Amino acid sequence: MSDSLGDSSDTSNSTTDSFAEFVPVLQLPPSLAALVDADRLIVQQDSYDKNVKRSSILNMYEVIANNSSDQWEKLISFQEESTHCMRAFCGNYRRFSMRGTVNGQTELVLERPLRCPANLCCCCPYELRVLRDGECVGSIGQVPSLAHNKFIIYDGDHYPQLVLKGPMFAYHCCLDLVFKLYSRSGGRSIGRLIRRWRDDQDVFHVAFPRDLHVRMKLLLMTATILIDFVYFGSH
């Protein structure tokens, strides 16, 4: 599969911080080992029948990653678990869980609490927790603001590690949605997350340094699902 990100000129080959110094070690199962050598991901929502009522749809995502040989391979699939009432009455603000599975084996669990639509209020930021074997791998939290769209990626102890910064207007119908990735110290961007506006489905292209800590790669991967719900989750 060709890389639709093109020339990622703002993605350096090494991070500005040594993530190994402050991010706890995460024991990866063999099924997710490809993530260690990956520097690009594609996160795609599975297609669904548009004639089916939205409240009947459980969202599903598939993630593929490039390996050290620059070949693409399927990494993991996610499937939503939520009630019909949540989907019917709460829409993209709903509470849900998602199981990330590889060959039928659950490897990750995503948990998102219910949030009210008034997301500009500081008491209602969007967030997503990522767990593996009951341990909190980390979380993604929105920073409410009228000036920009910003998300913080936290480690398992809720210390900020990475920042995703998007445009002020994320709903423009004729422009790609681009979130730039920064280390906790700021400076030059080290990666990016893109959704092409021409795509019929929700497809996110993610680029990051190959030597980024694998825990941060996992969290960046799941951050795309939260961003999809926040800005495109009418189902």
Task: Classify residue 129: in a domain, yes or no.
Answer: yes
pLDDT digits (tens, 9 = 90+) for 174-194: 678 899 999 988 889 999 999
Dist. CA 103–CA 31, nearest whole Å = 9
Among 14-23, 82-91, 137-146, where is mean pLDDT lowest? Answer: 14-23
> Residue type at 51?
N
Higher-confidence position of 163 and 9 = 163
Task: Classify residue 98: in a domain, yes or no.
Answer: yes
The reported pLDDT for the residue numbered 20 is 39
Neighbours of 69 (CB within 10 A): 7
Higher-confidence position of 170 and 155 = 155
How many structural domains compose the chain?
A: 1
How far apart, in Å, are the Cα atoms of 95 and each of 17, 85, 207?
34, 11, 28
pLDDT digits (tens, 9 = 90+) for 33-60: 889 899 999 999 885 555 445 555 788 9
Q: Is residue 96 helix, strand or coil?
A: strand
pLDDT digits (tens, 9 = 90+) for 61-76: 999 999 878 889 999 9
**CATH code assigned at 61:** 2.40.160
Dist. CA 91–CA 185, nearest whole Å = 35
Task: Classify residue 13: in a domain, yes or no.
Answer: no
Task: Classify residue 207: in a domain, yes or no.
Answer: yes
Question: Six-digit token pair at 83?
Answer: 């009630």
Task: Classify residue 97: in a domain, yes or no.
Answer: yes
The reported pLDDT for the residue numbered 32 is 84
The reported pLDDT for the residue numbered 114 is 79
| pLDDT band (50, 70, 90) for residue 8 | very low
pLDDT digits (tens, 9 = 90+) for 103-160: 899 999 999 987 765 544 555 788 999 999 889 999 999 987 777 789 999 999 999 9
DSSP string, 71-134: -EEEEEEEEEE--HHHHHHHGGG--EEEEEEETTEEEEEEEE----S-TTSTT---EEEEEETT
Residue 20 CA to chain centroid, in angstroms? 21
Give the residue numbers spanning the domain of 68.
30-232
Whole-model pTM: value is 0.82
Task: Classify residue 190: in a domain, yes or no.
Answer: yes
Dist. CA 56–CA 92, nearest whole Å = 13
Is 59 exposed, middle or buried, given 0-12, 13-18 or 19+ CB atoms closer than 10 A? Answer: buried
Task: Classify residue 5: in a domain, yes or no.
Answer: no
Higher-confidence position of 6 and 132 = 132
**Cβ proximity of 58 and 86 under 8 Å:** no
Question: Six-digit token pair at 16?
Answer: 């500005």
**Strand-pair partners of 156:** none
Task: Classify residue 175: in a domain, yes or no.
Answer: yes
Dist. CA 93–CA 75, nearest whole Å = 27
The reported pLDDT for the residue numbered 14 is 46
Q: Is residue 29 helix, strand or coil?
A: coil
